[in-house]
Every structure is written in C-alpha cells, then in structure tokens.
C-alpha cells in the first residue's frame, strides 16, 4: 500500500506528464488516463481563467487565442503553480514569462504592460483607507509644510517603463489606433482610493517626487532631491489631493 505523501507526489508528477499515478487508480469502466484527465483539465482551465481575470487588458491586447496559449505554456512549469489556496495572490510571474515566451517576445512592451496590469490587480484588493482631502490642510500653518511627511495611499503603486505604456493602454481602450514604436519612457501611478482603480500618467519629475514620498522622505526632502525647475509643486499637490493619492500625514521632528 502506497503512503499518502507518495501518492500525492505521484499526482504532481502526473501533472508534468508522468503516468505513474494511473497505477493507483482502480480499473472500472473509463480508463485511468481518462479519469485523471478530468483533474488535469480542471486544474489547467481553472488556472488559465484565474490569469485571464487578473490580466484582462493583456488578454485584450494580444487576443484570446495567443493569451490562452501563453497561459497554458506558463502552467506547464511546476515553479509557476500557485503555492497556496489564495489564488488572488498568484500570477505575478506571468509578465516575466511573457518576456521569454517566443510567440510574444517581439512585443517589447508586452511584459511591462502586464506588470502594470498586475499592479492594477494588487491595488484593487489593497487595504482600504479614506484618502486625505484638501480639508485636512485647510487650517494647517504654512510654516509646517516644510516638516510635512505625506504617506501615499496603501493602494498606490509606482511603475516606470522604457515603453509608452500609455499608448498601449490607449490602443486597448480604443482611444489610439496604433502603437508607435518610438523609444519613449512612461511613468505610471496606479491607485484605488475608493472603488475604482485609476492609472495616472506622470512626468519623470513627478514620478521621482512620488517615489521619494513612497520611500518615506518628507515633503521638503523629496522636493530637494528632484529637479525643481521641472516641478510644479502646487499643481502636483492639488492633483494629489483631488485624486486621493495620500492617506495620512505626520510632521518630522
């Protein structure tokens, strides 16, 4: 009698193509291979669907057939299987795989676009917190601004790419007809302050400013470290408050 651990390991091997597990199955009508295929199919289709739910824009961008093919190829490697029963946290490795996957390798922007979509997925389920509004600063002494430390909302993620991801997203949304293969960077801030996830496209200096805030630098430290000539402080602060980018503030000692 085989022990349970050995039997479960044989199932894992069967997922990778080994037939030993079939020897554990009682012969009774439909063949052991057919019986086992129901489980393999449930697993593959279930995980492919989970990826399609996490990366709907990527599916839209490259088409369902191509995306499904990439997903099934991704799932052939054991290292890509989920490690826990919480599938909401699984799938972060898919963009790296797309970068190496021959049929999509020529789409240089694809893996970064998928990475951005992963952040969109993570932001959707991030911790809830009421964003700071302009009223939080209404009665603040302007002299305290220098000591202000602003915390980005828990759902805020910053992402930069060597490719114009704003254009790629425009194509998916039907706002742009084609992607120009120009060498232009893009800078994104992904956030879900309330119900919906938003992607804000930033300038390079705004991206640097928010990156310093995300690291915990005070407002004045962040401003000192970026190119002040390019930076519009009041416009950026106003934009931040209007879009719920901050969740907390404190004063440095």
Partner 1 sequence: MTLQPLNPHDLVGVGLRHPHYSYVLENKPPVGWFEVHSENYFMKGGPALQFLERIRKEYPLSLHGIGLSLGSADGLDKNHLRRLKDLIHQFSPFLVSEHLSWSRINDAYFPDLIPVPYTEETFTLLAQHIDEAQTFLGREILIENPSSYLEYKDSIFSETDFLTSLCQKTGAKILLDINNVYVSAFNHGWDASAYLQAIPAELVGEVHLAGHSLRTFEDGSVLRVDTHSSCVCDEVWALYHQALQQGMRAPTLIEWDEEIPNFELLMQEATKAQGYLQQKRIAYG
Chain contacts with partner 1 (rule: CB under 8 A): 1-5, 7-9, 11-12, 15, 23-26, 28-32, 34-36, 38-39, 42-43, 46-47, 50, 78, 81-89, 124-129, 154-155, 192, 195
By C-beta, is 61 or 245 nearer to partner 1?
245
How far apart are alpha carbons 60 and 74 in whole angstroms? 18
- Distance, in Å, from the CA atom of 245 to the CA atom of 193, rounded to the nearest integer, reads 7
Residue number, 124 or 145, with CB nearest to partner 1 = 124
Sheet holding 186-191, edge to edge: 157-161, 186-191, 198-202
* Residue 166: how many other CB atoms lie within 10 Å: 17
Q: DSSP for 121-169, please give it.
A: HHHHTSPP-PPP-GGGGTT--GGGGGGEEEEEPTT-EEEEESS-HHHHH
Chain centroid, CA 54 distance in Å: 8
Give the shortest CB-194-to-partner 1 separation in angstroms. 9
Residue nearer to partner 1 on the CB measure, 12 or 181? 12
User: By C-beta, is 39 or 215 nearer to partner 1?
Assistant: 39
Q: Minimum CB separation from partner 1 for residue 71, in Å?
A: 13
Burial class of residue 26 in the structure, from the number of CB atoms within 10 Å of its CB (0-12 exposed, 13-18 middle, 19+ buried): exposed
Our CB check for partner 1 shows the closer of 79 and 178 to be 79
Q: How far is the CB of 80 from partner 1 (least distance, A)?
A: 10
Residue environment code for 218-236, b if the CB has 16+ CB neighbours within 10 A, otherwise e: bbeebbeebeeeebeeeeb
User: Taking the complex as a whole, how short is the minimal distance between the CB of residue 241 and partner 1, in angstroms?
Assistant: 21
Closest Cα to residue 79, out of 96, 56, 62? 96
Q: What phi, psi does 151 have (nearest 5°)?
A: -100, 130
d(Cα 159, Cα 109) in Å, to the nearest integer? 13
Whichever of 38 and 146 has its CB closer to partner 1, that residue is: 38
Q: Which is nearer to partner 1, 68 or 129 (CB)?
A: 129
């Amino acid at each position: 009698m085989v022990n349970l651990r050995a039997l479960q390991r044989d199932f894992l091997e069967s997922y990778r193509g080994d037939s030993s597990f079939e020897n554990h199955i009682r012969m009774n009508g439909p063949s052991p291979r057919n019986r086992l295929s129901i489980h393999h199919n449930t697993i593959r289709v279930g995980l492919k669907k989970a990826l399609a739910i996490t990366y709907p824009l990527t599916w839209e961008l490259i088409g369902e057939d191509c995306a499904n093919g990439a997903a099934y190829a991704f799932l052939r490697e054991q290292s890509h299987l989920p490690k826990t029963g919480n599938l909401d946290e699984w799938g972060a490795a898919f963009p790296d795989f797309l970068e190496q996957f021959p049929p999509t390798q020529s789409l240089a922007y694809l893996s970064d676009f998928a990475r951005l979509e992963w952040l969109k997925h993570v932001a959707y389920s991030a911790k809830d917190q009421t964003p700071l509004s302009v009223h939080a600063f209404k009665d603040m002494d302007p002299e305290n601004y220098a000591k202000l430390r602003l915390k980005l909302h828990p759902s805020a993620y910053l992402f930069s790419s060597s490719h114009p991801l704003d254009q790629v997203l425009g194509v998916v949304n039907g706002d742009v007809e084609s992607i120009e293969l120009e060498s232009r960077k893009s800078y994104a801030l992904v956030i879900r302050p309330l119900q919906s996830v938003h992607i804000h496209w930033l300038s390079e200096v705004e991206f640097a400013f928010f990156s310093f805030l995300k690291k915990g630098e005070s407002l004045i430290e962040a401003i000192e470290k970026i190119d002040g000539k390019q930076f519009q402080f009041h416009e950026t602060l106003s934009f931040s408050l209007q879009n719920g980018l901050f969740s907390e503030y404190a004063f440095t000692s």
